[in-house]
Chains A and B, each alone.
Chain A
Amino acid sequence: NAGVTQTPKFRILKIGQSMTLQCAQDMNHNYMYWYRQDPGMGLKLIYYSVGAGITDKGEVPNGYNVSRSTTEDFPLRLELAAPSQTSVYFCASSYWAHGNTIYFGEGSWLTVV
């Protein structure tokens, strides 16, 4: 049972480039989330999804897009990367809403130069 799998683990982007962070879960969870974690700061919610075809904005959605075509996958797209998007990104999932036993992936370290 892999849990929540994120790829890539590390990536360096140039300003203005675009990329997609991949996230997959094999626990048949309804809810999926993308958070970012900046040094010395708490986790901030970027986007979340309550099921296939349904997504909603979190606290810091600007500069990102998501889609949820299947229960298992929840990719995060960065358009026109900016240095402010340098961060660690965590994908997570849970069976019920938000707090209930959220399982996190290992994280994706993104640097924009």
Chain B
Amino acid sequence: EDQVTQSPEALRLQEGESSSLNCSYTVSGLRGLFWYRQDPGKGPEFLFTLYSAGEEKEKERLKATLTKKESFLHITAPKPEDSATYLCAAQGGSEKLVFGKGTKLTVNP
């Protein structure tokens, strides 16, 4: 069964304190690994798609990386506006997305 596990469940950072979120996946025939941002009371917002091990993508203070078993979302010098829940999802051979439970990030000023 395809599975996606995100850690930690919650993370508190001080403004400027860099860190990483982890997404471990077990899917057969990975077609894509996706990162979304979800603000309270809102729908998920697409951030990145990664397709193969070694691939990296960046957007402002965020960088996503992919290995054969994990993906990391690195947050460099975060700001309070980066506070949100970050969702990871994997697409396997069935084409359907399997979502992790998310990491709730809080950045304190």
Contact B41 A98 (CB under 8 A): no
Contact A106 B97 (CB under 8 A): no
Count residues of chain B with CB under 8 A from any CB of chain A.
Answer: 22
Report which of B34, B42, B89 forms a contact with A106, defined as CB distance below 8 A: B42
B40-86 with Cβ < 8 A to chain A: 41-46, 49
Contact A99 B44 (CB under 8 A): no
Count residues of chain A with CB under 8 A from any CB of chain B.
Answer: 23
Residue numbers in B under 8 Å from A41 (CB-CB): 101
The verdict on A40 contacting B32 (CB below 8 Å), with A99-B89, A104-B43 known, is no
Instruction: Please count the residue pairs between chain A and chain B whose beta carbons lie under 8 angstroms apart in the complex.
Output: 57
Contact A99 B45 (CB under 8 A): no
CA distance in complex: A104, B97 (Å): 14
Contact A98 B43 (CB under 8 A): no
A93-111 with Cβ < 8 A to chain B: 97-107
Is A92's CB within 8 Å of the partner chain B? yes
Residue numbers in B under 8 Å from A90 (CB-CB): 43-44
Listed in ascending order, the chain B residues whose CB lies under 8 Å from chain A are: 4, 31-32, 34, 41-46, 49, 87, 89, 91, 95-102
Listed in ascending order, the chain A residues whose CB lies under 8 Å from chain B are: 4, 40-45, 48, 58-59, 90, 92, 97-107
